[in-house]
């Protein structure tokens, strides 16, 4: 379900589309899209609290730089560097799940989260490079804390440089529709070309998304639209399938798709509708949101529990007292 379909379904939920197709003027398009993004933030928080990996991504310090809308982020910022303790996290990072060494010879290194008031963290903070042994080939433990919005601090002080892979919970990109210019589709090609001043990347349009050759007001909740798998430039997007119809230049809009399993899209539309109800009845909106939160928890938590039962539990090595 793309954003335009989600918005339409949310309007139907609050009876904002009459039988004759007239849309209620009580909510503007901007208000409904904002409600959809508010709902997306809400479900992301609930998913994190359920300890689900739905919104987890992996990033290696050897990966290429990535345009993350607010900035072009270079993953090399995560490379562990000798004598360096602070590292800048990606702008969409919410919570660190794990840090794993990639460089050969450093497989025995382990990173664990800590609290800044814990005795172990304080003790490690007083160590200097001269107090530490060689890291390569050893089985040393390092601790980390998150400071502020995006600073990762490592203790004790690193004495060597090596690459890592970071798994982290991310904040999904804000959903939007984009319709500036026109799009050119060529029969037999899987590339859609934007014309007339399109600025897809700069405007924050990201895959997954649907290419809709119609206005957002005319979408169908149950229709299937051409899927965009990637957007490489301001004027070029890759389609999941080659364009089978005749070549054409057309008005269009790109409608982004929530970064959630499709089974949760209808729930997201319902949360969007419940958020919209604040304009009518704050109490009704609050009651609806609380009930929907319970539904998501009942749907997500069992899946997380089953997955964790199938995984091997981490066991510390036995040591003599």
CB burial string 101-111: b at 16+ within 10 A, e below: bebeebeebeb
Say yes or no to pLDDT of 257 above 90.
yes
Cα gap 167→74, rounded to integer Å: 16
- Across the chain, the runs of DSSP E, i.e. the strands, are 56-60, 66-67, 72-73, 86-88, 93-101, 110-113, 141-147, 151-155, 164-170, 177-178, 182-185, 191-195, 209-212, 227-233, 236-239, 248-250, 253-256
Which of 130-139, 181-190, 191-200, 253-262 bottoms out in mean pLDDT, i.e. has the lowest?
A: 130-139
Q: 161 Cβ partners below 8 Å, 6+ apart?
A: 79, 80, 81, 82
CB atoms within 10 A of CB 74: 15
Say yes or no to pLDDT of 50 above 70.
yes
Considering the entire predicted model, what is its pTM? Answer: 0.84
Cα gap 319→139, rounded to integer Å: 14
Res 319: pLDDT: 42
At 194, list the tokens: 């934007």
Instruction: Give, in degrees to the nearest 5, the angle at Cα 193 between 178 and 199.
Output: 40
| Closest to 141 in 3D by CA, of 158, 128, 117 | 158
Which of 60-69, 191-200, 255-264, 310-319 bottoms out in mean pLDDT, i.e. has the lowest?
A: 310-319
The 8-class DSSP code of residue 313 comes to P
Cα gap 318→321, rounded to integer Å: 9
Say yes or no to pLDDT of 20 above 50.
yes
Cα gap 297→290, rounded to integer Å: 11
Cα gap 7→218, rounded to integer Å: 11
Res 309: pLDDT: 46
Segment 151-168 shows an average pLDDT of 93
Name residue, tokens 């364009």.
243
Res 312: pLDDT: 46
- 15: confidence class by pLDDT, cuts 50, 70, 90: confident
> What 3-state class would DSSP assign to 73?
strand
Q: 186 Cβ partners below 8 Å, 6+ apart?
A: 193, 243, 247
Segment 81-104 shows an average pLDDT of 95
- 21: confidence class by pLDDT, cuts 50, 70, 90: low
Cα gap 199→235, rounded to integer Å: 7
- 300: confidence class by pLDDT, cuts 50, 70, 90: low
Q: 301 Cβ partners below 8 Å, 6+ apart?
A: 50
The 8-class DSSP code of residue 201 comes to T
Res 188: pLDDT: 96
Say yes or no to pLDDT of 304 above 60.
no
Res 138: pLDDT: 74
């Amino acid at each position: 379900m793309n954003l335009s379909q989600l918005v339409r379904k949310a309007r139907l939920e609050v009876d904002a589309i009459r039988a004759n197709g007239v849309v209620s003027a009580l909510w503007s398009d901007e208000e409904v899209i904002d409600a959809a993004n508010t709902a997306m933030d809400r479900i992301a928080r609930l998913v994190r609290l359920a300890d689900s990996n739905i919104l987890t991504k992996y990033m290696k310090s050897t990966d290429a730089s990535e345009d993350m809308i607010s900035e072009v982020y270079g993953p090399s910022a995560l490379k562990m560097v000798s004598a360096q303790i602070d590292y800048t996290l990606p702008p969409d990072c919410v919570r660190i799940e794990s840090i794993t060494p990639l460089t050969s010879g450093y497989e025995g290194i382990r990173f664990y989260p800590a609290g800044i008031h814990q005795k172990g963290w304080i003790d490690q903070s007083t160590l200097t490079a001269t107090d530490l042994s060689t890291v390569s080939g050893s089985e040393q433990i390092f601790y980390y804390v998150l400071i502020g919005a995006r600073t990762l601090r490592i203790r004790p002080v690193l004495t060597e440089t090596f690459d890592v892979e970071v798994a982290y919970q991310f904040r999904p990109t804000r959903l939007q529709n984009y319709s500036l210019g026109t799009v050119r589709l060529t029969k037999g090609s899987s590339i859609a070309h934007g014309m007339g001043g399109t600025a897809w990347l700069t405007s924050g349009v990201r895959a997954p998304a649907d290419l809709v050759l119609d206005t957002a007001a005319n979408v169908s909740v149950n229709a299937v639209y051409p899927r965009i798998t990637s957007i490489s430039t301001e004027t070029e997007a890759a389609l999941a399938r080659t364009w089978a119809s005749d070549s054409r230049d057309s008005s269009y809009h790109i409608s982004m798709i929530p970064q959630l399993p499709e089974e949760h899209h209808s729930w997201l539309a319902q949360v969007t509708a419940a958020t919209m109800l604040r304009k009518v009845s704050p109490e009704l909106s609050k009651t609806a949101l609380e009930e929907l939160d319970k539904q998501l928890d009942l749907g997500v938590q069992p899946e997380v529990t089953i997955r964790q039962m199938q995984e091997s539990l981490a066991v510390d090595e036995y040591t003599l007292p």
